[in-house]
Structure 1
Amino acid sequence: MTERVIRVGFLIFPGFPMSCLTSVIEPLRAANEISGRHTFAWDLIAEGTEPVISSAGIAFEPSRSLADTANCDYLLLLSAPTSVFAERSSPAHLRRAARHGTILGAISGGVFPLLRSGAVGDAALSVHWCYEAAFLAEFPGVPASDQVIEITPRCVTASGAAAAFDLALHMVETELGAGIATEVACWFQHPMMRKAGVQQMVPVLGEGSKQEDLHPIVARAIDLMARHMSVPISMAEVAEDLAITPRHLERSFKRATGQNPTNYYRAMRMKAARQIVMYSNDTMMQIAEAVGYASSKVLVRHYREAFGISPREDRQRINLTRVKGNLPVPSV
């Protein structure tokens, strides 16, 4: 009897995060070794035939082109958020693969070109918290999931490299069972097998802790602020929604974060603005509107106070470090 082989294709773009690639391949390799079966095989795929330079500056040689993905069970996109298709036919190749039964997916910034391809429809997409503002700015009608991984019958996404490891464990469990998946996790001292439904960890601004460690009142207040970026909410409204006094809100925030809620909210909006500066083509006025500023001049002043650099200078600085082949983002 012929052994079933699951073929995983990795579509890599210039500037792709190398850790996301190895975080999938290594668990699959270990699963083959532990099980004594050749269940998983993988290929590096690119739009062309030239080596692809990762974000670490290391070149990877693709084994085949995107036009030749007929036998892939999974096709996972790995890229920076700013990556664009070099070939006009590439989105059509992805849509064709989806029609013929390939499960499409993306890791970290790969969700951007995946969605731009039009190949995944309204599938749930896991979006890393550091890209969320830029993602919502480019795709305002698409829900960005804050889950570590999202798995649907036709699409799989992982928010980052550690999440990619969890996605690989899911693939191992599906094909070889929970016992092999657990042994793979233990091989790599992976602390736990996170499945769908686990929320991403988000750092608290200015603190060495995670949002999930915060007092419930402060965590709920931050969630309210995050849901009111483009149309800001006042601290009085936050307190009213939480059924506490503004004074109680301020005391709770200072104890938990070392900042008052107004300053914390502004810092959140500045971080969101910086994501859009770095990972989108939006103009300064569009960025201002996305984070709740009626005037781009005020945003620029607050941005400079927060980061010591203007948005225009920040975008130019980021473009200087982009890997060759990654098109620069136009100046704001």
Structure 2
Amino acid sequence: MFLRMKHVATPAEVSSSAPAAPLAAWGFLLFPGFPMACLTSAIEPLRAANEITGRPEFAWTLLGEAPGPVRSSASVRFDTDATLAEAAGLDALVCLSPPDARFLDPRRSEAALRLLARRGVTLGGFSGGVFPLMRAQALGRHTPSVHWCYEGAWAGEFPDRGTSRNAIQREHGRITVSGAGAVFDLMLRVIEERLGRALMTEVACWFQHPFVRDETALQARPVARAGGTEAMLPPPVREAVRLFGLHIEDPLAIAQVAAQVRLSERTLERAFRAATGETPLRYYRRLRLERGRQRVLYSTDTVTEIARSVGYSTSTDFARHYQEAFGVHPADERRRLAGLRGLAGAVPPDQQG
């Protein structure tokens, strides 16, 4: 299936009719397996703003590293308008990709990104798109927003680079956004900055998007098997979960966690059971396994390396608990996902066990 989301206008096409303010011209660099929802969440608010005003206030173009269509994670292929090397006249360029995406020609393409940044173009990454941006050494001093389901893969590849828990992060000439809903919020803010709050509100109402998060809003994170998010947990349980997250590789004893949240171990267990339906120990183990699963799915680390990174002394115990939790051996799940993605060779065979 092919879709072509043709840009409204190029900067040159708009120059004769645009108002004095500079055009907000966006480039979206697509990698195979990119999240389609992030792309449409970025473009549709801009399209609506143009339609409401009757003017091409915003322009966008779809880019690929090489000519030709690019297939999304949903197996829908998008025609591109130009290649990265041909990108010109942009105010912002955003990478959209899965976390394991790589440039076909890293030296040339990564240099092209850095050159755009030196020319004043704002660089960004939506969802997994922050990974190729980081590999290109193009994030600068920016502390990126990394989707919670990619945190394990990020920590494994970039252990010395911190991340922001914010859903949207704009600073130092960079923009990173964790997921599609947050991308929509970002674009509403971009519209407000250019055209005012009333127009932004009208665009939001076009899409029945009643709540617009500001840029300090934290990512929503699910609580396993509880049907809620971390923000909904009672304060002591929420603090315990935060401590769990800080000690994935070097797990704390539950007694230590209870002491830090100023509860007895028994009281903490009762609070966890009431809020999550699990004991603190089982919740902590699941959190470690989920972090390990991120690395199984989105890194090329061996199972042994992943086991150690989430506090297991042996890969055998890790694999056994993994299979109990997710119903599949980690190496088998990695191979299965590679097949679903259609990205042959994304994980070398010698690194799948």
Bin of the TM-score, shorter chain as denominator length: over 0.9
Letter in 1 for 2:145: S
Partner of residue 243, structure 1: 262
Alpha-carbon distance in structure 2 between the residues aligned to 1:59 and 1:282: 29
Partner of residue 45, structure 2: 27
* TM-score, structure 2 as length reference: 0.91
- Kindly indicate whether the alpha-carbon contact (under 8 Å) linking 2:142 and 2:172 is maintained by their aligned counterparts in 1: no
Alpha-carbon distance in structure 1 between the residues aligned to 2:164 and 2:344: 29
Partner of residue 77, structure 1: 95
Cα displacement string for residues 101-154 of structure 1 (whole angstroms, at most 9, x for unaligned residues):
110001111111111111112302111111111111111111121111001141
Partner of residue 174, structure 1: 193
How far apart are residue 252 of structure 1 and its match? 0.4
Partner of residue 146, structure 1: 165
Which deviates more, 197-206 or 171-180? 171-180
> Which of 224, 227, 231 is matched with 1:205 structurally?
224
> Which of 188, 195, 207 is matched with 2:214 structurally?
195
SS of the residue corresponding to residue 63 of structure 2 reads strand
Which deviates more, 1-10 or 213-222? 1-10
Structure 1 unmatched ranges of 5 or more: none
Letter in 2 for 1:123: H
SS of the residue corresponding to residue 302 of structure 1 reads helix
Is it true that 1:123 corresponds to 2:142 in the alignment? yes
Letter in 1 for 2:53: S
How far apart are residue 331 of structure 1 and its match? 1.0
- Kindly indicate whether the alpha-carbon contact (under 8 Å) linking 1:83 and 1:326 is maintained by their aligned counterparts in 2: no
Is it true that 1:331 corresponds to 2:352 in the alignment? yes
> Which of 307, 318, 324 is matched with 2:337 structurally?
318
CA RMSD of aligned residues (A): 1.4
SS of the residue corresponding to residue 163 of structure 1 reads helix
- Kindly indicate whether the alpha-carbon contact (under 8 Å) linking 1:82 and 1:326 is maintained by their aligned counterparts in 2: no
- Kindly indicate whether the alpha-carbon contact (under 8 Å) linking 1:15 and 1:326 is maintained by their aligned counterparts in 2: no
How far apart are residue 326 of structure 1 and its match? 7.6
Which deviates more, 98-107 or 180-189? 180-189
Alpha-carbon distance in structure 1 between the residues aligned to 2:197 and 2:317: 54
> Which of 20, 23, 47 is matched with 1:5 structurally?
23
How far apart are residue 325 of structure 1 and its match? 7.1
Is it true that 1:66 corresponds to 2:84 in the alignment? yes
SS of the residue corresponding to residue 126 of structure 1 reads coil
Alpha-carbon distance in structure 2 between the residues aligned to 1:11 and 1:216: 41
How far apart are residue 87 of structure 1 and its match? 1.7
Partner of residue 289, structure 1: 308
Cα displacement string for residues 147-167 of structure 1 (whole angstroms, at most 9, x for unaligned residues):
110011410111111011011
How far apart are residue 70 of structure 1 and its match? 2.6
* TM-score, structure 1 as length reference: 0.97
Alpha-carbon distance in structure 1 between the residues aligned to 2:66 and 2:345: 14
Alpha-carbon distance in structure 2 between the residues aligned to 1:286 and 1:327: 18
How far apart are residue 66 of structure 1 and its match? 0.3
Partner of residue 222, structure 1: 241
Over 3 Å counting, the alpha-carbon distance change for 1:57 and 1:203 in structure 2 is: same
Partner of residue 135, structure 1: 154
- Kindly indicate whether the alpha-carbon contact (under 8 Å) linking 2:28 and 2:96 is maintained by their aligned counterparts in 1: yes
Alpha-carbon distance in structure 2 between the residues aligned to 1:69 and 1:145: 29
SS of the residue corresponding to residue 71 of structure 1 reads coil
Runs of 4 or more consecutive aligned structure 1 residues displaced over 2 Å after TM superposition: 1-4, 323-330
Q: Percent identity?
A: 45
Structure 2 unmatched ranges of 5 or more: 1-16
How far apart are residue 286 of structure 1 and its match? 1.6
Q: Which has the higher contact order (CA 8 A, sep 6+)?
A: 1
Alpha-carbon distance in structure 2 between the residues aligned to 1:324 and 1:81: 13
Matched positions, count:
332
Partner of residue 72, structure 2: 54
> Which of 110, 133, 141 is matched with 1:114 structurally?
133
Alpha-carbon distance in structure 2 between the residues aligned to 1:111 and 1:219: 27
Partner of residue 44, structure 1: 62
- Kindly indicate whether the alpha-carbon contact (under 8 Å) linking 2:140 and 2:172 is maintained by their aligned counterparts in 1: no
